[in-house]
């Protein structure tokens, strides 16, 4: 019994130290584990929230890079995606393509090559996707990264649609690319003062406005109201024997000069049977 009493404190101490060692081991092992990234929504969940008219394909996780060698090749590669975005969000396909051409350097710029970010969209607060760092206005700025450029196109649409400072753009006609280009600069999309002119030049050089017309012809978007065209509505007089410009001017209450101007006459000579414009006015179409 006396021996047991002597050994009991030693056994308790041993148990205490083993317990401490076990806790320390677990703590150290936990500390060495790599922290898991915080993900607010999975790709599938994001797709469910998508309010576009067509679903984006699920991201396979594979980084896909396009080898594009010319502006025309860029347009041919992404025109259909731009048109689908126009149908879903109302942004002219011509504007989207021109911005992509300009911002990505026809897909060959450093940022586009390493991130598939064709619109230079920075991370901004709340961005939960992948990202990379790139020197822009400042050194080492955070830019959004995509596995495929089509996700960049979708993010561009959502970026414009969901920010209040761009809301007024969606009141413009879908084929009025000039107003859209100037409106983007007005809203602060780019700091370059010549940004609108650059977009318009690209649109007209590559006739990107045809992609807008095609989408509008399918029943999407708002077409510009055609300007009222003034047309001439003329009254005529067939020259009879004895008619002179002076007598006709009195009859129709117009001047001789007007009669000569309307009929492209260089002298006052008339021929029987000649058809003369004696009154002209404009009316709206």
Tokens, residue 149? 């450029």
Phi/psi of residue 275, nearest 5 degrees: -95, 120
Q: What gap in Å lies between CA 161 and CA 152, rounded to an integer?
A: 14
- Give per-residue pLDDT as tens, 64-121: 989 999 999 999 999 999 999 999 999 999 999 999 999 999 999 999 999 999 999 9
Domain 50-217 and domain 230-284 have a common topology = no
Average pLDDT over residues 163-186: 96
Whole-angstrom distance, CA of residue 113 vs CA of residue 116: 6
Q: What is the DSSP string of 243-268?
A: --HHHHHHHHT--HHHHHHHTT-SSS
The pLDDT of residue 236 is: 84
- Note the pLDDT of residue 37: 34
Nearest one of 120, 119, 70, 76 to 211, comparing CA atoms: 76
Please report, for residues 121, 166, 175, 189, 245, the alpha-carbon distance to residue 163 in angstroms, rounded to integers and kept in the order given.
13, 6, 21, 11, 67
CATH of domain 230-284: 3.10.350.10
Region 153-182: mean pLDDT is 96
pLDDT at 100: 97
Tens of pLDDT, residues 229-261: 444 456 889 999 999 999 998 888 889 988 888
**Please, which pLDDT band fits residue 141 given cuts at 50, 70 and 90?**
confident
**What pTM does this model have?**
0.63
Domain ranges of the chain: 50-217, 230-284
**CA 161 → CA 80, 196, 229, distances in Å?**
19, 19, 35
Alpha-carbon torsion, ordered 185, 187, 189, 191, to 10 deg: 60
Question: In this model, does residue 276 exceed pLDDT 50?
Answer: yes
Domain 50-217 classification at class level: mainly alpha
pLDDT digits (tens, 9 = 90+) for 202-221: 999 999 999 999 999 999 98
């Amino acid at each position: 019994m006396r021996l047991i009493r002597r050994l009991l404190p030693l056994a308790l101490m041993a148990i205490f130290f083993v317990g401490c060692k076990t806790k320390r081991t677990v703590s150290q092992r936990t500390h060495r584990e790599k922290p898991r990234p915080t993900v607010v929504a999975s790709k599938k969940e994001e797709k469910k929230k998508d309010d576009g008219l067509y679903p984006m394909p699920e991201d396979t996780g594979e980084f896909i890079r396009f080898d594009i060698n010319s502006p025309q090749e860029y347009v041919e590669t992404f025109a259909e995606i731009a048109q689908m975005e126009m149908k879903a969000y109302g942004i002219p396909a011509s504007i989207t393509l021109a911005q992509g051409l300009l911002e990505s350097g026809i897909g060959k710029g450093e940022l586009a090559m390493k991130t598939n970010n064709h619109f230079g969209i920075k991370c901004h607060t709340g961005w939960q996707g992948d990202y990379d760092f790139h020197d822009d206005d400042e050194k080492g700025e955070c830019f959004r990264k995509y596995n495929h450029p089509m996700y960049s196109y979708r993010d561009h649409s959502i970026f414009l649609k969901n920010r209040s400072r761009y809301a007024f753009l969606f009141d413009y006609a879908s084929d009025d690319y000039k107003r859209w280009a100037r409106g983007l600069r007005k809203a602060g999309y780019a700091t370059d003062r010549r940004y609108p002119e650059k977009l318009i030049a690209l649109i007209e050089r590559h006739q990107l406005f045809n992609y807008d017309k095609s989408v509008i012809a399918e029943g999407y978007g708002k077409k510009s109201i055609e300007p009222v065209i003034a047309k001439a509505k003329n009254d005529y007089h067939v020259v009879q024997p004895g008619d002179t410009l002076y007598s006709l001017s009195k009859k129709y209450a117009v001047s001789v000069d007007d009669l000569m101007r309307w009929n492209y006459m260089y002298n006052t000579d008339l021929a029987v049977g000649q058809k003369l414009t004696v009154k002209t006015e404009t009316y709206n179409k």
